[in-house]
Structure formats: structure tokens, C-alpha cells
């Protein structure tokens, strides 16, 4: 019996050491994440609105080669789902909590959709902890202050909350999800995405896009001179958005994928992984 117990203990210990799933304490709750590899620098994957870390499953070739963290943002996936506000800085602070829990000092932030503004909030809070940023069909803009802006935003958020709440909110939300697909999104992938996004509770769905940020507007001329890449689906406003983002990231390089939908990294993972790997390789060759 003693020998069997020792074997079981050894097996359990080995499994625990190899487990990639972890929970980081954050503001009285827990944030779930997966950790791959070892080292003080990592690629940190940040999913979008009402998604979870499984949206990065096709990027396994990246996190099998690079120290990486995949995060279920608060309210999503296996993380706790407290009631309350979910502004971008709340998500950004949860990323810092995960990095500290995982022993990571500096990150390449890969943010999809809402993950882009969250990455920007992280940069503003913890600039010394960011090595570079990759924006995946995400738009980042300089926040502005002023009473008129605050009032307009409050009105916008009130309308948005109403449109995303209740039975009609489910219908409106479903229409928004469908608009994210393209001819490049196969039926099985569409169904997987629908199920995952609808699994996010309504209170999180609403709060994540209606919680006003309390971060002060940046100082005039505040920029981040770190390597930056944007992989975007083209639209009539792509160039205008890129010009605005270059005011934040002067080194931003934009790659446009014609014909794709919002979930680029899932629609063509081989191409996406190649683009990301080339970017990461360029970082390794630089002194940044």
C-alpha cells in the first residue's frame, strides 16, 4: 500500500508540474490562465469581447516554441465572473496579476478586437512591462476628456446597454456576432464561436462595452516607441484607423487581409502564425 501511495503521489506531482492551467488572485476573485514554457518574457494572448482563451487554440505552434500566457479575462471562460464594472483598465490589471503569478516580467501583448484597447490600457499602466504589441483586427485610439465627450459617451453606453440586455439583447448580440463572419469562416467554426460568445453572462457582455474608463487622458504627445504590428481586415476606414493608431505607435506596421472576417487567427491559422512568428523573430534580432 505504501508503494502504491508513493507511485500515486509521484504521478500526481508530475501531472501538477506539467499542468498548464492556473488561477491568479485578482481583486478578491480568480483569473484563469494557461502557461506554456519558461522564462521571464512571454507572449501574452488577450482575447476579445465575450470570447475566451480557447480562441487562440490554433496558435499552439507559437506557444509550443515561445513562453506564452493565454488568459481568460475576468468574466470570461473559467475565470470568476463578479458583478460590477468592467472597464479596460480592470482587464489590464488582471493581465498584470496573471503575469506576476506566472513570474513574467515583460510581454509581447497580442490583443484581438477588444483585446487591443485592453493592451493599450496595459501599456499606459505598466509601460516597463511591455516589449511589443500585436493588434488583431483591433482599433486603438487616444482617449479624450472633456464634459461634452463624457456626456456623449454616457448616452452611448446607456443605449448600448439597453440594446444588449434581455431577450431583445440576445437577438441584437447574435446579429453582431454574425456580422463578424465572412466567407472564410466555415460553418463548424461559426457554431463554435457562437456557443462560446453566448456562454459569457449577460452582465459581463454588457459591462465589458459600457464601463467608462477612469484612466486620465494621456499627456500630449504620449507615444509608445515599441515594435507594433496590426493585422486587419480591410474596410473603408482602415487607413484612417491606421493613421490614428500610428499617433500612439509610431513604429506600427499594418498588414491587411482581404476577404477575411473578424477572427483572422482562426480562419487562417497557418498564415497568422507565420506573420506572428516573423514578428517575434524580428524582436529576437533587435536590441529592444
The domains located in the chain, with CATH, are 21-285 (3.40.50.1820)
Q: How many residues does the chain have?
A: 288
pLDDT attached to residue 238: 78
Assess contact for 111 and 134: CB atoms under 8 A.
Answer: yes
Closest CA to 164 of 207, 206, 212, 209: 206
Assess contact for 119 and 88: CB atoms under 8 A.
Answer: no
Our CA dihedral for 100, 104, 110, 115, rounded to 10 degrees, sits at 0
Q: How far apart are CA 180 and CA 124, in angstroms?
A: 29
pLDDT attached to residue 18: 52
Assess contact for 39 and 65: CB atoms under 8 A.
Answer: no
pLDDT attached to residue 285: 77
pLDDT attached to residue 13: 32
**Strand arrangement of the beta sheet that strand 41-46 belongs to:** 21-26, 29-36, 68-71, 41-46, 106-112, 130-136, 228-232, 252-256
Q: How far apart are CA 84 and CA 211, in angstroms?
A: 9
Q: How far apart are CA 72 and CA 20, in angstroms?
A: 13
Q: How far apart are CA 199 and CA 78, in angstroms?
A: 11
Q: How far apart are CA 199 and CA 230, in angstroms?
A: 28
pLDDT attached to residue 2: 38
Q: What is the pLDDT along the chain (288 residues), one digit of tens a residue?
A: 333 333 333 333 333 335 799 999 999 999 999 999 999 999 999 999 999 999 999 999 999 999 999 999 999 999 999 999 999 999 999 999 999 999 999 999 999 999 999 999 999 999 999 999 999 999 998 877 778 888 999 999 999 999 999 999 999 999 999 999 999 999 999 999 999 999 999 999 999 999 999 998 888 888 999 999 999 998 867 788 888 899 999 999 999 999 999 999 999 999 999 999 999 999 987 766
pLDDT attached to residue 149: 84
Q: How far apart are CA 112 and CA 49, in angstroms?
A: 9
pLDDT attached to residue 4: 37
pLDDT attached to residue 217: 84
SS3 of residue 132 by DSSP: strand
Amino acid at each position: 500500500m505504501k508503494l502504491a501511495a508513493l507511485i500515486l503521489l509521484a504521478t500526481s506531482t508530475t501531472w501538477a508540474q506539467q499542468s498548464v492551467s492556473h488561477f491568479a488572485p485578482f481583486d478578491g476573485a480568480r483569473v484563469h490562465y494557461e502557461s506554456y514554457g519558461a522564462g521571464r518574457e512571454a507572449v501574452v494572448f488577450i482575447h476579445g469581447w465575450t470570447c475566451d482563451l480557447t480562441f487562440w487554440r490554433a496558435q499552439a505552434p507559437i506557444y509550443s516554441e515561445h513562453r506564452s500566457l493565454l488568459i481568460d479575462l475576468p468574466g470570461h471562460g473559467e475565470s470568476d465572473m463578479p458583478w460590477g464594472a468592467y472597464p479596460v483598465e480592470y482587464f489590464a490589471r488582471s493581465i498584470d496579476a496573471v503575469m506576476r503569478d506566472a513570474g513574467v516580467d515583460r510581454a509581447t501583448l497580442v490583443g484581438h478586437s477588444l483585446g487591443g484597447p485592453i493592451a493599450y490600457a496595459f501599456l499606459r499602466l505598466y509601460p516597463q512591462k511591455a516589449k511589443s504589441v500585436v493588434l488583431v483586427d483591433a482599433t486603438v485610439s487616444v482617449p479624450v476628456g472633456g464634459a461634452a465627450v463624457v456626456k456623449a459617451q454616457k448616452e452611448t453606453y446607456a443605449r448600448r446597454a439597453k440594446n444588449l440586455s434581455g431577450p431583445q439583447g440576445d437577438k441584437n448580440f447574435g446579429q453582431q456576432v454574425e456580422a463578424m463572419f465572412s466567407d472564410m469562416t466555415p460553418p463548424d467554426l461559426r457554431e463554435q464561436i457562437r456557443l462560446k460568445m453566448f456562454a459569457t453572462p449577460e452582465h459581463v457582455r454588457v459591462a465589458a462595452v459600457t464601463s467608462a474608463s477612469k484612466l486620465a487622458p494621456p499627456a500630449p504627445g504620449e507615444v509608445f516607441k515599441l515594435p507594433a504590428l496590426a493585422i486587419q481586415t480591410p474596410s473603408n476606414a482602415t487607413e484612417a484607423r491606421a493613421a490614428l493608431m500610428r499617433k500612439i505607435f509610431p513604429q506600427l506596421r499594418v498588414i491587411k487581409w482581404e476577404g477575411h472576417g473578424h477572427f483572422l487567427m482562426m480562419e487562417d491559422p497557418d498564415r497568422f502564425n507565420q506573420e506572428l512568428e516573423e514578428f517575434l523573430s524580428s524582436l529576437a534580432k533587435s536590441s529592444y
